[in-house]
Amino acid sequence: MGKNIVLIGFMGTGKSSVGQRLAEKLKMKFVDMDREIEKITGLPISQLFRKHGEIRFRSEEKLLAQKLSCESNLVIATGGGVVLSQENIEALRENGILICLEASAEEILKRINRKKGSRPLLKKEIGEKDIKLMLEARETFYACTDFRIDTDNKEPRMVVEEITRRLR
Ligand code: S3P
């Protein structure tokens, strides 16, 4: 049973764009957890938060992490907060290699500014300082991974190459 490759990391670290390309390269199936939750609930993430709250989103996230832990040969892009639950980490680790994608607050800010409306946890006027604080608060949660990749100033394809090199 081939292990899943699970991409973890803060918003804007490139989990989805890297994950998609990595799956293509390794000929594995790609699963983007946020997109799956949107399919399951029939709501975009921002609306799910607005209508039913973060608690409902986290419970969908947990159910999905449990389901995916029973599958194999997947590249999984998680949502940035999946690591906030120890149960999720344990589930994803059951049959998965956990890889943390990292980026500096400055780079994250540049990237998320392009897609801010779809991220309910980010306020409109967010700045580098806010990102730094959020990164600090989550630092210990992201430390659970098998290895970390710095994505600053790297195109997704370069990150994919680095991951495949590390996996060998
Ligand atoms: C979240 C990150 C988002 C999404 C949700 C919560 C978080 O995913 O799951 O808005 O808690 O960091 P991305 O990391 O893909 O933006």
Inside any domain, residue 167: no
Q: Which domain holds residue 79?
A: 4-162
What is the count of structural domains for the chain?
1
What confidence score (pLDDT) does residue 123 get? 84
**Does residue 75 lie in a domain region?**
yes
Residue 157 within a domain: yes
Find all residues with CB under 8 Å of 67, minimum gap 6, and list them.
none
Q: Tell me whether residue 168 is in a domain.
A: no
pLDDT average, residue stretch 81-98? 96
The answer to whether residues 106 and 151 touch, using CB atoms and an 8 Å cutoff, is no
Query: Which protein residue's CA is at the shortest distance from atom 8 of ligand 1?
Result: 79
Q: Distance, CA 33 to ligand 1 centroid (Å)? A: 10
28: in domain = yes
Q: Which tens digit of pLDDT belongs to each residue from 4-22?
A: 999 999 999 999 999 999 9
Q: Residue 52 maps to which CATH number?
A: 3.40.50.300
Residue 33: the pLDDT is 98
For residue 116, pLDDT over 70 is answered with: no
pLDDT of residue 124: 82
Testing ligand 1's pocket by substitution, the residue of 34, 36, 115, 139 carrying the most ligand atoms inside 8 A of its CB is: 34
The pTM for the full model equals 0.96
- Which amino acid is located at 158 in the chain? M
Joined together, the tokens standing for residue 42 give 């029939």
- Per DSSP, helices labelled H in the chain are 15-26, 33-41, 45-68, 86-94, 105-112, 128-142, 156-167
Going by alpha carbons, the residue nearest to atom 10 of ligand 1 is 119
Is residue 8 situated within a structural domain? yes
Least confident of 27-31, 39-43, 130-134, 141-145: 141-145
Cβ of 44 below 6 Å from ligand 1: no
Q: Is the pLDDT of residue 117 over 80?
A: no
Report how far ligand 1's centroid is from the alpha carbon of 16 (Å): 11
pLDDT tens column, 121-166? 988 888 999 999 999 999 999 998 999 999 999 999 999 999 999 9
Whether residue 123 is contained in a domain is answered as yes
Instruction: Give how far Cα 83 sits from Cα of 42, 51, 100, Å.
Output: 24, 23, 10
